[in-house]
Amino acid sequence: MTEVTKRILVTGGTGLVGRAIQKVVADGEGQPDEEWIFVSSRDADLTSSSETKALFERHKPTHVIHLAAMVGGLFKNIRSNLDFWRTNIHINDNVLHSAHESGVQKVVSCLSTCIFPDKTTYPIDETMIHNGPPHSSNFGYSYAKRMIDVQNRGYSEQHGRRFTAVIPTNVFGPHDNFNIEDGHVLPGLIHKVYLAKQSGSALTVWGTGKPRRQFIYSLDLARLFIWVLREYDEVEPIILSVGEEDEVSIREAAEAIAEAMEFRGELVFDTTKSDGQFKKTASNAKLRRYLPGFQFTPFRKGEMGSLQETPGVLPCAISVVHPFWMRNEGGETLAHVAQGAGGFPHPWKYARSGWMGHGAIPVSWEVSPCMVVG
Ligand SMILES: NC(=O)c1ccc[n+]([C@@H]2O[C@H](COP(=O)([O-])OP(=O)(O)OC[C@H]3O[C@@H](n4cnc5c(N)ncnc54)[C@H](OP(=O)(O)O)[C@@H]3O)[C@@H](O)[C@H]2O)c1
């Protein structure tokens, strides 16, 4: 039997990205000399230095993928910039310092393309993180994330540590946050299309629909995270993104989701709502130098057909429209839902993953913990 030489602790292991890494590891990407440990806030509140230290003492990781963060969409950021700053600064400092003190060999943390300067030239690359203020809507989250890069350089220079970070664009996939007020744009739109279909009303998209975004499928990101952990040796961060040519406008994203969910109603743009940063087009040239052949799962409208065959958030949402029943991982029935019952059943709130079916035929699906209406 192969001896385990790498103990990989994944903070934020129950979130959108953490769940994707769990799936990719379980589906065969894990190696025999690796033990993967996925933790959430139930295992330790990482804003607490003592709980973080105890977590590291308990698991004795050799490697860390650090995902845990206070995360949210545009409108949650606008409301809570101070909370984003304080929570994330505490989490990041506790995790990086505990990793240093316990002799962790490598840490890969997670930044985001939304932390880049607002006024900038395009495409944005890894060298430009600190070149100017971020967009005012999410300055708390952005500055806290930028400080991870500062700390990585410090731990490298002063202590020779291999602490680095990746910079993903907007992520989508199973286990996303479907809350309309607080979640990210795609799951929010999916939820709104679901409600608009139920009530026969128009689909109201917040903002002008003109801002542009690059979206990365969470399972693609998971594979890239594992590559960075094993192969990428720089302290400087690396952007993990689809190409510049794959950027889509919010209008195009809304139209694609409406089409995939067979919504035939009107699209209305509520221009009283903020657009956030207009665009943050990122270059994946550095990633392409390392991995020229990496295939991304496509998002574009013309490829929605193939997306519907892929287990991901969009086909999930389509399955959601007429569920008859759902069960948890143990096979226990959590809810029976008549077609058109008018809203998500509350037990969904408590289900972290499971399966559900149309009549007797189960469809492959996992339930998002955040898929709650109201
Ligand atoms: N989603 C995106 O579009 C996107 C884009 C770029 C970068 N990122 C970055 O990717 C990383 C993962 O994001 P995500 O979308 O997967 O987030 P998510 O779905 O909101 O999950 C957040 C994770 O962090 C954990 N967590 C939050 N506060 C914690 C605390 N005080 N102590 C311990 N654990 C805590 C949560 O645990 P519980 O389940 O127990 O709450 C959960 O596992 C984050 O660093 C984020 O900044 C995300």
Is the distance from the beta carbon of residue 351 to the nearest atom of ligand 1 less than 6 Å? no
Q: Per-residue pLDDT tens for 307-340?
A: 443 334 343 433 333 233 334 344 444 433 322 2
Is residue 344 predicted with pLDDT exceeding 70?
Answer: no
Is the distance from the beta carbon of residue 16 to the nearest atom of ligand 1 less than 6 Å? yes
The whole domain housing 268 covers 6-371
Q: What is the pTM of this model?
A: 0.83
Is the distance from the beta carbon of residue 69 to the nearest atom of ligand 1 less than 6 Å? yes
Q: How far is the CA of 12 from the centre of ligand 1 (A)?
A: 5
Q: How far is the CA of 40 from the centre of ligand 1 (A)?
A: 9
Q: Look at ligand 1, atom 6, and give the residue with the nearest C-alpha.
A: 112
85, part of any domain: yes
**Closest ligand 1 atom, residue 66 Cα:** 45
Res. 235 pLDDT band, cuts 50 70 90: very high
Q: Look at ligand 1, atom 43, and give the residue with the nearest C-alpha.
A: 12
Model pLDDT, residue 182: 74
Res. 256 pLDDT band, cuts 50 70 90: confident
Model pLDDT, residue 135: 93
Is the distance from the beta carbon of residue 142 to the nearest atom of ligand 1 less than 6 Å? no
Residue 323 tokens read as: 């569920």
Is residue 165 predicted with pLDDT exceeding 80?
Answer: yes
Q: Is 232 a catalytic residue?
A: no
Whole-number average pLDDT of the chain: 82
Model pLDDT, residue 150: 98
202, part of any domain: yes
Q: What is the CATH number of the domain that holds 214?
A: 3.40.50.720
User: Which residue among 122, 141, 143, 290 is the active-site one?
Assistant: 141
Is the distance from the beta carbon of residue 45 to the nearest atom of ligand 1 less than 6 Å? yes
Q: Look at ligand 1, atom 17, and give the residue with the nearest C-alpha.
A: 15
Q: Look at ligand 1, atom 26, and give the residue with the nearest C-alpha.
A: 68
Model pLDDT, residue 367: 36
310, part of any domain: yes
Q: Per-residue pLDDT tens for 355-370?
A: 333 322 223 333 333 2
Is residue 62 predicted with pLDDT exceeding 90?
Answer: yes
Best probe residue, ligand 1, of 16, 85, 90 (max atoms within 8 Å of C-beta): 16
Model pLDDT, residue 300: 54
Q: What is the mean pLDDT of residues 131-135?
A: 96
Least confidently predicted of 76-85, 178-187, 317-326: 317-326
**Closest ligand 1 atom, residue 20 Cα:** 16
Q: How far is the CA of 284 from the centre of ligand 1 (A)?
A: 23
1, part of any domain: no
Please give the tally of structural domains in the chain.
1
Q: What is the mean pLDDT of residues 195-217?
A: 92
Q: What is the mean pLDDT of residues 89-96?
A: 98
Model pLDDT, residue 334: 40
**Closest ligand 1 atom, residue 113 Cα:** 6
Res. 176 pLDDT band, cuts 50 70 90: confident
Which has more pLDDT, 346 or 13? 13
45, part of any domain: yes
Is the distance from the beta carbon of residue 40 to the nearest atom of ligand 1 less than 6 Å? yes
